[in-house]
Amino acid sequence: MITLKKLSANLNKIPESPGIYIFRTKNKIPIYIGKAVNLRKRLVSHFLKKGKSYNVLEGSYFLDLKPTESEIEALLLEADLIKHFRPKYNVREKDDKSFLYLVIRNGDFPYIEFSRERSLNLKAKDLSFGPFTEGKTLREAIRILRGIFSYRDCKPMLFLKAKKDQHPCLYFSLGKCSAPCLESTIDKADYQKLIKEMILFLKNKKDKLIKNWQKEMKKLSSNKKYEEAAAVRDRLKSIERIKKFHFIEDSVPQSKRKIKIEVYDVAQIFGEARSGGMVVFLGKLSEGNVILGKFSKDDFRKFKLEKGKGDLALLKEMLERRFKHSEWLYPDLILIDGGLNQLRIAQSVFKKYSLDIPVVGITKGKKHKAEKPTLPFDRFKWPYLVDLVKKNWLLFVSLDEKAHKFVQSYHQLLHQKKFKI
């Protein structure tokens, strides 16, 4: 705890890390609690602004700083402290609005939902976390956690229908839900374990969670359950990556970022006229949506493939030949016609060339129609990837169709030359 007078003379000593700050009166009563991506920048802005910031400063004498390892942890700590102290300026700033809460509804397979304070209706053994001052930031944080804890958020009626039909939602295909509605994916005990682990994180007991996972991973390895141990290891890594994740603050204008997408497909007939094609699409990202896009036909590439015999071997040959060309600008995203096997091939090539590019498979169903996306196992490296696919799925399907037509045209040309049609 430090006096504001002393702090104003030492602003450059405030850490430039995520965290929360508490303005207190001379009697040490909290009157405002806030969170920040960068504590120093946020507090400097408080000293420069007028209005609410001026009122808070006028009524404050002390300041507490509590740095955190990540912005998500700052968000959770802020909510916990606001709930405990109910500072007058936090409550007043909502006016006629209502704080947002995260609720875990109890049951055999608990589910997650958001609720406003005025409509919060907790039943026996339901858990609530909040109040949260920024709904958008909360939803973004929970979206990231979903990739780690794979919870369900469907209401009971939808859950029962999915269970009856044995047909899960899109989140299962995206690897963001463990699908307790299916009989073969996860049992009651394992699902409830996931939820208990998420609760530990939400209660700011990350260190305890990490220790539990480390013990579990060691035990699984000693029992030679290496795949299960690897899954726990990946979850540990994903928790660490949260530290590197940054929310976009509403107060900071975001320019539209360029995005380059490369799309690949292969073709052959009984091992003859083996060919591949690369289609390039350039666009801009705005709030996760790809806009103002166009094909870059000068960057399209045709590959006459010789080494491979099956589709997977052809794909590997094509990708290896493409990424030998470091002078070709690398893409931000790769789309591949296929599923997990194709993704594994792509990732083996990326590893060979020390590349770190997200790849999404376009999995086909009946009549060769795009059915669902397939995401890589290490998708947590790219926290934005799931939402990017969800928001732009129809675009990605059309890009895949363009690549298919492009390679088929080249394939037919090679076939005609081979047999002199």
**Cα distance between residue 98 and residue 92, in whole Å:** 11
Answer yes or no: is pLDDT of 67 > 60: yes
- More confident position, 80 or 245: 80
C-alpha distances out from residue 124 to 106, 121, 128, 180, 355, Å: 8, 10, 12, 22, 50
What does the pLDDT read at residue 271? 57
**What are the Cα distances from residue 39, in Å, to 14, 205, 320?**
7, 22, 45
Residue 387 in any domain: the answer is: yes
Same domain, 221 and 261: no
Considering the domain architecture, whether residues 228 and 106 belong to the same structural domain is answered as yes
Same domain membership, residue 380 and residue 301:
yes
Distance between CA atoms of residues 321 and 316, nearest Å: 9
Q: Give strand ranges (E) for 252-404.
A: 257-269, 272-286, 289-295, 301-304, 333-337, 359-364, 370-374
Give residue 249's pLDDT band: very low, low, confident or very high (50, 70, 90): very low
Using 50, 70 and 90 to split pLDDT, how confident is the model at 252? very low
> Alpha carbon of 391 to those of 105, 279, 288, 289: distances in Å?
27, 21, 7, 6
303 and 400 together in one domain: yes
Question: Does 340 lie in the same domain as 262?
Answer: yes
Q: What is the pLDDT of residue 416?
A: 61
Whether residue 250 is contained in a domain is answered as no
| Structural domain boundaries enclosing 363 | 257-419
On whether the CB atoms of residues 30 and 22 are closer than 8 A, the answer is yes
Do 261 and 240 share a structural domain?
A: no
pLDDT digits (tens, 9 = 90+) for 77-118: 998 898 888 888 887 655 445 788 999 999 999 999 998 877
Residues 193 and 313 in one domain: no
Shared domain check, 276 and 294: yes
Confidence (pLDDT) at 254:
37
Q: Which pLDDT band holds residue 380 (cuts at 50, 70, 90)?
A: low
* Domain total in the chain: 3
Determine the 3-state secondary structure of 269 from DSSP: strand
Confidence of residue 308 (pLDDT cuts 50, 70, 90): low
| pLDDT given at position 96 | 42
Would you say residue 252 lies in a domain? no
Lowest mean pLDDT, pick from 45-54, 345-354, 386-395, 396-405: 45-54
Instruction: Tally the C-alpha atoms within 13 A of residue 183's C-alpha that lie toward its C-beta.
Output: 3
Domain assignment of residue 249, yes or no: no
pLDDT for 45 equals: 80
Do 337 and 412 lie in one domain? The reply is yes
Lowest mean pLDDT among 5-9, 161-165, 172-176, 212-216: 172-176
Residues 271 and 367 both lie in one domain: yes
With a cut of 80, say whether residue 195 has pLDDT above it: yes
Q: Let me know if residue 340 belongs to a domain.
A: yes
Q: What is the pLDDT of residue 214?
A: 94
Average pLDDT, the chain: 84
Cβ atoms within 10 A of the Cβ of 260, count? 16
Same domain, residue pair 278 and 376: yes
How far, in Å, CA of 233 to CA of 213, rounded? 8
pLDDT digits (tens, 9 = 90+) for 316-366: 999 999 998 878 888 889 999 988 999 999 999 988 887 888 899 998 877
In this prediction the pTM is 0.55
The pLDDT of residue 213 is 94
306 and 395 fall within a common domain: yes
- Position 11 scores a pLDDT of 83
| Distance from the Cα of residue 66 to its chain's centroid | 26
